[in-house]
A and B are shown apart, each in its own frame.
Chain A
Amino acid sequence: MRHLLSSADLTRDDVRMLLATAAEMHEVQRRDVKKLPTLRGRTIINLFFEDSTRTRSSFEIAGKWMSADTINITGKGSSTSKGESLRDTVMTIDAMSVDCVVIRHMASGSAHQVSQWVDASVVNAGDGTHEHPTQALLDAYTMEQRLGSLEGRKVAIVGDLTHSRVFRSNAITLRTLGADVTLVAPPTLMPSGIGTWAAADGLTLTDDLDAVLASGPEAVMMLRVQRERMSGGFFPTPREYTVGFGLTRDRLRALTAANPEAVICHPGPMNRGLEISADAADAAQSLVLDQVSAGVAVRMAVLYHLLAGEEAAA
């Protein structure tokens, strides 16, 4: 494994190995001395063109706990064709002989493009509305901690699928692990071509959240509705969205009745009262805080497997 650009890069064995490693890293986090010498002498650049305190700090801590030198660079937006090109920006960084570039960018595919240009390993920490593979790994890790193997488990992903990189990566990783994935969204927030895509990848589609909850899924993943989408004509009003697709108190009750063991995930940050009610966010079956705590362990696992091993085989 040289780069982690898409969840589709990972075989089932890769995912299993990463999750097993993450579990050990999670143990290390409970110690007084959390620092491992594993990546001593390695340099990791966190290149973030888009704000994300949560993801950036968890990559930074992950690197530091394995003794890598981690440097944060905040890229300026490159939404116009004027000014420095993305390639120029990353080539400047690559010229410093870094070992790994962790990139977050508002443009889909940017991590793929960067991986073509640089010598360093590239980790996609979220590219536009494309993918966020480490998020999918930490979601799978968190769910497995509660549910055991995800093989054959029913997982519902609910919300703005069109604009969600979390959904795209999760749908891939969950299928890789053998979960039974149902997508729930209003038709205007279903990605283009989802019909053939879902058929090809074995995903179930519906806009009936209540029916999905009544079927007793083992996990329900609520996606964030971006504030800027609310007036974009994707749905009439926040209220109508909540009534149709929010995990309200009543729906939490229905879910618990159908499956008392069901867990609730949300990649954060949450819009309480919109896609998820406070009751659901703070419920005993909510994994929201577990997800955050797993973030560092999973990113340690990814950095370890990308950077610790032998150089790419000749």
Chain B
Amino acid sequence: MSDLLLTGVTWHDADGTGHTGDVAVREGLVTEVGRVEDTEGLTRHDADGLTLLPGFVDLHTHLREPGREDAETIASGSRAAAAGGFTAVLAMANTSPVTDTAEAAERVLDLGRAAGLVDVVPVGAVTKGLDGHELAELGLMHRSRARVRVFSDDGRCVADARVMRRALEYVRAFGGVVSQHSQDPALAGSQACCHEGELSGRLGLPGWPPVAEAAVIARDAMLARHTGSRVHVAHVSTAEGLDVVRWAKAQGIAMTAEVTPHHLALGTELVAGYDPVFKVNPPLRPTEDQQALRDGLLDGTIDAVATDHAPHARHDKEHAFVDAAFGMLGLETAFGVVHDLLVASGAMSMADLARVMSTNPARIAGLAGHGRPVAPGEPANLVLVDPTATVTVDRDASHSLSRNTPWHGRTLTGAVHTTILRGDVTAREGEPAPC
């Protein structure tokens, strides 16, 4: 561990007030901000023009290990996360085997620690094998070394209301949260693969109607109220779904929500060429939904941006559209997309970005050491970003093992410069430190 001195850097207080000066990091903690008197033993980093934010926290990452190490490993996903400015990622449970036991959760935790570039926080399955019927060992996962707090059958919806109710009642006891993939499977065919609307009608592709999302969010809101427990809406994608979240929050129901960069910025029209790189679940939606989601993020209805980073081996994407795998890469591009779309355009401040990409997701996941303000005594889980850099995304430059990025060839304003995990530089200018 080397101690750092970041000079000429801009940062924000918890209330959003901006400052420019020097920041010292010693033994994994921020020790001084503003003027650093004693620079003895500090490695100096010129951060003129850069902004220091709390390290990003991704509530929704698929790392594919164990089971599909050809698509991603915990180590490769950690490299991508560090390059993308993340200091913590929640690794979804839909691996093979599924993370539905304490042992499985600890194994993910340990592999993450071994890689050492980002805190890999396992998400536990809600039901055994994601089968939707029997509860997984929620309590044992929580009591394990992994301290699992977030549970999700992501990829599948916990469709059975009785199972969802029991899960909520159960996790309430230890302050857990269920992250729901809100999508009523009965409201769409098993082959659904895009947004249901005019385009899907023309393309002859079976789609998901927005009501399939909104109906489950509404049900879960009522269940959360009934159980007094917490529900997190994963990757909300529709204006209708968002309206229900807004209503639930107004009712005082303990509901939080995340949105992905791709649902904010990419529209369903991209599916017209049948390129499976744009096949994702939930699907890309029309412009009106994108606009509603941006508004929802700005007004606080949506708490967090989460990537739903979903690497897939090339051959799993080279099927007919309806047969190809769901998902797209997101860890390395999330900051650039959100910054380019919302901060560079003036809709959102950098402090707001820190709130939705770090503070709020850390709070939702119960991660005490992440999403903290830049202040003396706080853990040095930080990211330096360059708001003026422009980057053209090149899928072949990705640190993921997979190449399924929908952003290939796009130029984004704003880039991650340096990622710092407990005082260690884990990535610099897009290059992760060796594991």
Contact = CB atoms under 8 A, between A and B. Distances in A.
Nearest to A163: B204
Interface string B366-409: 00000000000000000000000000000000000000000000
A300 B274 CA distance: 28
Given A81-B319, A81-B323, A86-B319, A112 B201 contact: no
Given A88-B315, A192-B198, A109 B325 contact: no
Contacts of A168: 202, 204
B197 A85 contact: no
Interface stretch (A26-34, A127-135, A216-224, A264-272): A127-135
A197 B315 CA distance: 34
Interface in A197-231: 197
Interface string A297-312: 0000000000000000
Interface residues of A, number: 31
B200 interface: yes
Interface in A126-146: 127-131
A92 to B, nearest CB: 13
A237 interface: no
Interface in A83-107: 85-88, 105-107
Contacts of A41: none
A78 B321 CA distance: 11
B320 A193 contact: no
A293 interface: no
Interface in B186-212: 196-205, 207, 209
B274 A109 contact: yes
Nearest to B206: A129
Contacts of A191: 201-202, 204
B204 A127 contact: yes
B273 interface: yes
A134 to B, nearest CB: 16
B115 interface: no
Interface string B313-355: 0011011111111000000000000000000000000000000
Contacts of B207: 192
Residue in B202, B203, B323 whose Cβ sees the most chain A Cβ within 10 Å: B202
Contact of A86 (B200, B202, B273, B323): B323
Nearest to A164: B204
Contacts of A88: 315, 318
Nearest to A195: B198
B197 A113 contact: no
B320 A113 contact: yes
Interface in A151-195: 162, 165, 168, 191-194
A247 B88 CA distance: 64
Contacts of A81: 316, 319, 323-325
A193 B200 contact: yes
B152 to A, nearest CB: 22
A113 B197 CA distance: 21
Interface string B162-185: 000000000000000000000000
Contacts of B199: 193
A196 to B, nearest CB: 5
Given A109-B274, A192-B196, A192-B207, A85 B201 contact: no
Contact of A107 (B197, B200, B273, B321): B321
A259 interface: no
A194 B201 contact: yes
Interface in A63-96: 78-81, 85-88
A112 B274 CA distance: 7
A165 B319 contact: no
A102 B321 CA distance: 18
A193 B321 CA distance: 20
Nearest to A194: B201
B201 A107 contact: no
Contacts of A165: 204
Nearest to A49: B320
Interface in B262-316: 273-276, 315-316
B323 A80 contact: yes
Contacts of B275: 113, 116
Given A85-B318, A88-B315, A108 B204 contact: yes
A87 B276 CA distance: 12
Given A112-B273, A192-B197, A192-B207, A197 B323 contact: no
A110 interface: yes
Nearest to B198: A193
Contacts of B323: 78-81, 86, 107
B197 A193 contact: yes
Residue in A80, A110, A194, A196 whose Cβ sees the most chain B Cβ within 10 Å: A110
A28 B203 CA distance: 36
A109 B324 contact: no
A86 B275 CA distance: 13
A110 B203 contact: no
B319 A85 contact: yes
Contacts of A113: 274-276, 320-321
Contacts of B274: 108-110, 112-113
A93 to B, nearest CB: 15
A127 B204 CA distance: 9
Nearest to B209: A192
B207 to A, nearest CB: 6
A81 to B, nearest CB: 5
A87 B318 contact: yes
B320 A110 contact: yes
A109 B205 contact: yes
A267 to B, nearest CB: 15
B319 A129 contact: no
16 contacts: A79-B323, A80-B323, A88-B318, A107-B322, A108-B203, A108-B274, A109-B204, A109-B321, A113-B274, A113-B320, A129-B205, A130-B203, A191-B202, A192-B209, A193-B200, A194-B198
Interface of B: 196-205, 207, 209, 273-276, 315-316, 318-325
Considering the complex of A and B, which 5 residue pairs feature the smallest CB-CB distances, nearest first? A193-B198, A107-B320, A109-B274, A130-B204, A191-B201
Given A107-B320, A127-B204, A128-B322, 17 more contacts: A78-B319, A78-B320, A81-B323, A86-B318, A107-B321, A108-B321, A109-B204, A110-B321, A112-B274, A113-B275, A113-B321, A130-B204, A162-B201, A191-B201, A192-B201, A192-B209, A197-B198
Interface of A: 78-81, 85-88, 105-110, 112-113, 116, 127-131, 162, 165, 168, 191-194, 196-197
